[in-house]
């Protein structure tokens, strides 16, 4: 048997989250954002649950090719566009739509020999200062693109840097409106944060978001979890990281646990050694206030001792206090849910490591085997 750590992908949760986003975004078409191997869930796992999306958005041309090989004939959008001229041949061959956010991409496009016109999403820098053309050059860039025969259709795209508040969204919307008001083409604005919390603000500014771009919400985590949790939004965790206890140690007052001098027991403790370490993607920087779930019933237990490469150690006293008798082989859920459905959100775990759910789900290591959970999926 391989090491007992598993990433379980819940197909029904992926499907539910997509439906939930579709109902929030009303008439908009939905790009399922599947960059970074579908936020660490595996493109091959999310493909079926996300089939009801209108298109897939990603960065990597290999992942785009994989989608075509899986049989997807609908739209695929490259969110960072092309990186070199020969990428355009792949776009032509696979029928990929691509973002245009810099001059070099326009030059490559105008030199590209193709029979087939390309659909491009012209990106505006609406205050994030990452990708996109400045508002004051936007119109002239649009006209230049419009004039080259390689381009068949132009859509307009922008990205929100701040969705925690309506003001943050409004700031970008006003920049977008000023730059794009009389330009024709479909619009694509909202990420998860804007879809969940700011659809009214967008409508009030007179904008129609033709293509929304949810990522994190589809995977059941919150875009701004310090404000509202995934659970509050009605999202379901799509990934559970589970492992097992591979050893038990009874320690007395004064005994130390794990590497380093810092973790001395102040009471008698039953320590469970769990087959999960930072080489599996569990963050070493996590604080001792972080918890895991013991057993199917999901008793919350704190970490005790540093996370090492292949193992972590937990204080199982809360399980003893409930009259349970932990054994080797018992299940530990690091995030997601237990088989009985008790939840520990990835956002909660991330917050104890000074990061966000996004980072943890993307960081699950290739050595962790992946299992499908098809329960409730249709």
Ligand X SMILES: *Cc1c(COP(=O)(O)O)cnc(C)c1O
Nearer to ligand X, 50 or 278 (CB): 50
Give dist(CA 129, CA 124) in Å, integer: 10
Nearer to ligand X, 150 or 191 (CB): 191
CA separation, residue 145 to residues 76, 89, 109, 138, 181 (Å) = 20, 18, 9, 11, 17
Nearer to ligand X, 214 or 237 (CB): 214
Annotated catalytic residue, options 35, 39, 282, 337: 35
| Residue facing ligand X at closest CB distance | 215
> Using the 8-state DSSP alphabet, how is residue 217 labeled?
G
Q: Provide the pairing of β-strand 118-124 with 97-100.
A: parallel
Return the beta strands (E) in 70-210 as ranges.
76-78, 97-100, 118-124, 151-158, 187-188
Annotated catalytic residue, options 11, 204, 256, 259: 259
* Least distance (Å) between residue 179 CB and ligand X: 17
* Least distance (Å) between residue 363 CB and ligand X: 15
For residue 255, the Cα-to-chain-centroid distance in whole angstroms is 40
Residues in touch with ligand X (CB under 6 A): 33, 35, 79, 159, 191-193, 213-216, 223
* Least distance (Å) between residue 328 CB and ligand X: 38
* Least distance (Å) between residue 365 CB and ligand X: 21
* Least distance (Å) between residue 215 CB and ligand X: 2
Nearer to ligand X, 127 or 223 (CB): 223
Residue 123 known to be catalytic = no
Nearer to ligand X, 213 or 236 (CB): 213
Residues in CB range of 180: below 8 A, 6 or more apart: 124, 138, 156, 187
Give dist(CA 199, CA 166) in Å, integer: 10
Residue 35 known to be catalytic = yes
Helices 103-111 and 135-147 cross at an angle (nearest 10°) of 0
Residue owning tokens 């969705």: 163
Instruction: Give yes or no for a contact between 160 and 174, defined as CB atoms under 8 angstroms apart.
Output: no
* Least distance (Å) between residue 20 CB and ligand X: 13
Give dist(CA 105, CA 121) in Å, integer: 12
Nearer to ligand X, 11 or 219 (CB): 219
Give dist(CA 110, CA 363) in Å, integer: 38
Which positions are catalytic? 35, 259
């Amino acid at each position: 048997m391989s090491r007992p750590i598993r990433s379980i992908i819940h197909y029904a949760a992926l499907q539910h989250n997509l439906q939930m986003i579709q109902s929030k975004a009303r008439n908009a078409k939905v790009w399922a954002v599947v960059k970074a191997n579908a936020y660490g869930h595996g493109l091959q796992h999310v493909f079926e649950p996300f089939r009801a999306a209108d298109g897939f958005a990603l960065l990597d041309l290999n992942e785009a090719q994989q989608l075509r090989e899986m049989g997807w004939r609908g739209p695929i959008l490259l969110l960072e566009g092309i990186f070199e001229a020969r990428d355009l041949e792949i776009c032509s061959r696979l029928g990929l739509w691509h973002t245009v956010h810099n001059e070099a991409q326009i030059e490559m496009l105008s030199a590209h020999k193709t029979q087939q016109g390309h659909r491009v999403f012209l990106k505006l820098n609406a205050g994030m200062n990452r990708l996109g053309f400045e508002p004051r050059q936007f119109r002239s860039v649009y006209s230049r693109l419009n004039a080259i025969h390689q381009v068949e259709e132009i859509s307009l795209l922008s990205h929100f840097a701040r969705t925690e508040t309506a003001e943050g969204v409004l700031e970008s919307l006003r920049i977008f409106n000023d730059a794009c008001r009389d330009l024709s083409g479909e619009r694509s604005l909202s990420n998860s944060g804007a879809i969940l919390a700011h659809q009214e603000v967008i409508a009030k500014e007179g904008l129609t978001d033709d293509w929304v771009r949810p990522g994190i919400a589809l995977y059941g985590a919150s875009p701004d979890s310090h404000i509202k949790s995934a659970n509050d939004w009605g999202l379901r965790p799509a990934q559970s990281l589970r492992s097992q206890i591979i050893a038990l140690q009874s320690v007395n007052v004064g005994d130390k646990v794990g590497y380093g001098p810092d973790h001395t027991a102040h009471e008698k403790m039953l320590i469970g050694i769990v087959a999960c370490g930072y080489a599996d993607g569990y963050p070493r920087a996590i604080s001792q206030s972080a918890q895991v779930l013991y057993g199917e019933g999901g008793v919350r237990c704190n970490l005790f001792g540093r996370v090492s490469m292949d193992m972590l150690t937990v204080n199982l006293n809360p399980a003893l206090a409930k009259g349970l008798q932990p054994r080797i082989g018992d299940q530990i859920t690091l995030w997601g849910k237990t088989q009985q459905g008790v939840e520990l959100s990835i956002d909660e775990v991330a917050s104890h490591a000074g990061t966000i759910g996004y980072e943890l789900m993307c960081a699950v290591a290739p050595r962790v085997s992946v299992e499908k959970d098809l329960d409730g999926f249709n």
